[in-house]
C-alpha cells in the first residue's frame, strides 16, 4: 500500500530548507562514511571464513544455533545445502550479539579449552577490525538503550535502495510538514519522532540480538504529524493498493489509523521481513503526539494549513456566482462577489465578474466603487494589463459619454499601461479623458510621455503623430514647446 500526500509548489517563504539539509546529511553519511564499511566488512568476513578463527568458532556456533529455537532464521538455515551453511554462519555470527556476549565472556571457549590460547588473540583482532566500521559503531543495538545510537542510527542506511526510498519520502513529507511547523519545529519533531520510533522498536524487540538503522522511524513521524496537523481538512493524495491507484481527497486525520494500522498489521504478519515496521509504527505515533502538542500550543502556520480550503471555497463561490450572473440573478450574485472581493481583493478572476454584476446598476455608488477598484488594481504582467483594459472598455461603454473615473485616475492608469507595452490602449484612455475634459492640466504631460514611449520602441510614425496631436490640442503647454523641437 502506498499513500502520498500531494504538496503545494514551494515559495521562498515556505521552502523546506531543513528537509533539504536532512536529505544532504543522510546522503553524505551513506556515501561519505558508510560506503567504505562494505569493503571492510567483506574483507573481514572473507578473512574470517578462511582463518583458524572460523574453524574454532563455527562448530560451536552451529551447536548454539541448533539448540536455540528462538533464532528466527534457524529453520531456513537448516534447509540450506551443507556447503552453504558455514558461509551463512560466518556472515551471521557478527550480528548475533547474544552469542558474541557469551563468547567474549569465556562461556563458549573457556581458559581450559585446548583452543583458547590460539583463539583469544584472533578474536580480539577481528573485534578490533569489525569496530573500525562506522556503521557498526553507530547503529542501534537491540536490547540496549543508548541515546547516542538512537540519534546516530537515524542517519544510517543499509544500502542505496534503502537510502533512495527514505529520501524520496522525506522530500515529499518535508514539503508539506515543514512549512506548517517552521524550520526549528520541524527539526525538533523529526528528531523526537526518530527517537520515539527507535524506542518503540527496542521495546517490541527487547531480548533479541542484532542492530537497527535507517531514517524511516523519523520519516514515519512526519506521516503521523501530517495527519494530525491537517486534521479535519480535506487533503489531496495519491494512493496505490495492489493494482488499484488513483488521486482522491480525504480528511487528513483519517490517514492516521490507516497508516498506523497498515504498519502494525505488517509487523504482526511479517515479523521477519527485515523491514522496520516496528520503528514505522512507533514513529507514526510519536509524530502524531508531537503534532498534537504543537497544535495545542499554537505553534503551527494556520495560514498555510488553510490555503487549500480557502482556495476551494473561493472556487466554489466563484462558480456559483458566475451561474447566478449568467441567469441575471444580480442581487445574489453581487452579494456573493462582494464577499469574494473582500476576501481576495487582488484576484482578477474575482474582480472581473464582480465589476460586471455592478455595471448593470451603474448609478449606484457600489458600481462606482467597483470600477475604481478594478481600474485601480495594479496589473503585474502584460496579460493582466490587457485584461484590465477589457474592464476599462466595459466601464467606458456603460458610463459613456462620461468617463468611468476621475480624469486624474485614468491618466495614472494610462501611465501604468505603458510599462507592459500597452501603448495603443493607453492612448484610448487619454482620448476618453480628453473628450470629457479637453484642457485638463495633466493631459499634455501624459501625451508627451506616451510619445516618448513610442520613440523608445522606434515607432517614429506614432511618435510624430502624438507630438503633432499634443502641439495642436495643447499649444500653450510646456510640453507643446518640446514637441515642436522634436518635430523640427
pLDDT score recorded for residue 308:
80
Closest to 145 measured CA to CA, from 212, 45, 100: 212
Cα 399 versus chain centre, distance:
49
Contacts of 199 (CB under 8 A, 6+ apart): 145, 150, 282
What's the DSSP call for residue 329?
-
- Answer yes or no: is 380 within a domain: no
Contacts of 169 (CB under 8 A, 6+ apart): 216, 219
Closest to 167 measured CA to CA, from 31, 365, 52, 342: 31
CA distance 479 to 447: 9
* Residues 88 and 171 placed together within one structural domain of the fold: no
* Residues 272 and 161 placed together within one structural domain of the fold: yes
Which among 85, 106, 141 is the end of a domain?
A: 141
* Residues 109 and 173 placed together within one structural domain of the fold: no
pLDDT score recorded for residue 206:
85
- Answer yes or no: is 127 within a domain: yes
* Residues 80 and 95 placed together within one structural domain of the fold: yes
pTM to 2 decimals?
0.68
* Residues 11 and 28 placed together within one structural domain of the fold: no
- Answer yes or no: is 83 within a domain: yes
- Answer yes or no: is 413 within a domain: yes
Structurally, the chain folds into a number of domains equal to: 3
Range of the domain at 417: 398-488
* Residues 200 and 288 placed together within one structural domain of the fold: yes
* Residues 293 and 407 placed together within one structural domain of the fold: no
Which among 300, 333, 357 is the end of a domain?
A: 300
* Residues 294 and 171 placed together within one structural domain of the fold: yes
- Answer yes or no: is 124 within a domain: yes
* Rg, the chain, Cα only: 37
Which among 300, 320, 350 is the end of a domain?
A: 300
* Residues 177 and 221 placed together within one structural domain of the fold: yes
* Residues 163 and 89 placed together within one structural domain of the fold: no
* Residues 65 and 212 placed together within one structural domain of the fold: no
pLDDT score recorded for residue 6:
80
- Answer yes or no: is 268 within a domain: yes
pLDDT score recorded for residue 390:
94
* Residues 137 and 159 placed together within one structural domain of the fold: no
User: Per-residue pLDDT for the chain (488 aa), expressed as one digit of tens each?
Assistant: 788 888 777 778 889 999 999 999 999 999 999 988 877 777 777 777 778 888 888 888 888 888 888 787 788 888 888 778 877 887 788 777 778 888 888 888 888 888 888 888 888 888 777 777 888 888 888 888 899 999 999 999 988 999 999 999 999 999 999 999 999 999 999 999 999 999 999 999 887 767 889 999 999 999 999 999 999 988 888 888 877 888 888 999 999 999 999 999 999 888 777 788 999 999 999 999 999 999 999 999 998 888 888 888 899 999 999 999 999 999 999 999 999 999 999 999 999 999 999 999 989 999 999 999 999 999 889 999 999 999 999 999 999 989 999 999 999 999 999 989 999 999 999 999 999 999 999 999 999 999 999 999 999 999 999 999 999 999 999 998 888 888 87
Query: What CATH number does the domain containing 409 carry?
Result: 1.25.40.10
Amino acid at each position: 500500500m502506498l499513500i502520498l500526500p500531494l504538496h503545494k509548489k514551494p515559495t521562498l517563504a515556505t521552502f523546506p530548507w531543513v528537509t533539504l539539509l536532512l536529505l544532504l546529511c543522510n546522503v553524505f553519511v551513506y556515501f561519505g562514511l558508510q560506503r567504505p564499511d562494505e569493503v571492510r566488512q567483506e574483507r573481514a568476513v572473507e578473512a574470517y571464513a578462511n582463518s583458524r578463527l572460523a574453524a574454532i568458532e563455527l562448530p560451536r556456533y552451529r551447536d548454539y544455533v541448533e539448540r536455540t529455537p528462538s533464532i528466527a532464521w534457524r529453520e531456513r538455515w537448516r534447509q540450506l545445502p551443507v556447503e552453504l551453511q558455514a558461509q551463512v554462519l560466518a556472515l551471521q555470527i557478527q550480528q548475533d550479539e547474544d552469542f558474541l556476549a557469551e563468547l567474549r565472556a569465556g562461556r563458549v571457549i573457556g581458559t581450559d579449552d585446548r583452543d583458547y590460547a590460539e583463539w583469544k588473540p584472533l578474536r580480539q583482532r577481528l573485534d578490533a577490525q569489525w569496530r573500525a566500521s562506522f556503521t557498526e559503531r553507530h547503529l542501534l543495538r537491540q536490547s540496549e538503550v543508548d541515546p547516542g545510537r538512537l540519534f546516530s542510527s537515524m542517519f544510517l542506511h543499509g544500502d542505496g535502495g534503502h537510502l533512495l526510498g527514505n529520501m524520496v519520502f522525506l522530500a515529499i513529507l518535508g514539503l508539506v510538514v515543514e512549512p506548517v511547523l517552521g524550520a526549528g519545529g520541524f527539526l525538533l519533531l523529526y528528531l523526537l519522532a526518530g527517537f520515539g520510533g527507535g524506542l518503540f522498536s527496542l521495546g517490541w524487540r527487547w531480548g533479541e540480538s542484532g542492530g537497527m538503522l535507517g531514517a524511516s522511524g523519523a520519516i514515519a513521524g512526519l506521516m503521523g504529524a501530517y495527519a494530525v496537523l491537517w486534521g479535519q481538512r480535506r487533503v489531496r493524495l495519491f494512493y496505490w493498493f495492489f493494482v488499484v491507484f488513483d488521486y482522491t481527497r480525504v480528511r487528513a486525520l483519517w490517514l492516521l489509523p490507516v497508516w498506523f494500522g497498515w504498519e502494525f498489521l505488517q509487523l504482526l504478519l511479517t515479523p521477519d521481513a527485515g523491514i522496520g515496521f516496528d520503528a514505522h509504527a512507533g514513529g507514526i505515533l510519536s509524530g502524531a503526539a508531537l503534532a498534537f502538542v504543537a497544535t495545542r500550543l499554537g505553534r503551527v502556520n494556520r495560514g498555510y494549513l488553510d490555503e487549500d480550503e480557502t482556495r476551494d471555497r473561493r472556487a466554489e463561490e466563484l462558480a456559483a456566482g458566475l451561474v447566478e450572473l449568467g441567469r441575471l440573478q444580480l442581487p445574489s450574485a453581487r452579494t456573493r462577489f462582494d464577499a469574494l472581493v473582500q476576501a481576495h481583493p487582488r484576484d482578477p478572476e474575482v474582480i472581473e465578474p464582480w465589476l460586471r454584476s455592478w455595471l448593470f446598476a451603474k448609478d449606484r455608488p457600489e458600481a462606482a466603487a467597483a470600477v475604481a477598484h478594478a481600474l485601480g488594481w495594479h496589473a503585474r504582467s502584460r496579460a493582466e494589463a490587457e485584461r484590465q483594459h477589457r474592464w476599462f472598455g466595459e466601464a467606458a461603454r456603460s458610463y459613456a459619454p462620461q468617463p468611468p473615473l476621475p480624469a486624474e485616475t485614468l491618466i495614472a492608469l494610462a501611465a501604468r499601461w505603458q510599462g507592459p507595452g500597452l501603448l495603443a490602449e493607453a492612448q484610448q484612455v487619454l482620448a476618453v479623458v480628453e473628450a470629457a475634459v479637453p484642457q485638463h492640466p495633466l493631459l499634455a504631460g501624459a501625451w508627451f510621455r506616451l510619445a516618448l514611449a513610442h520613440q523608445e520602441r522606434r515607432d517614429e510614425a506614432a511618435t510624430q503623430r502624438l507630438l503633432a496631436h499634443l502641439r495642436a490640442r495643447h499649444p500653450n503647454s510646456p510640453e507643446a514647446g518640446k514637441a515642436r523641437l522634436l518635430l523640427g
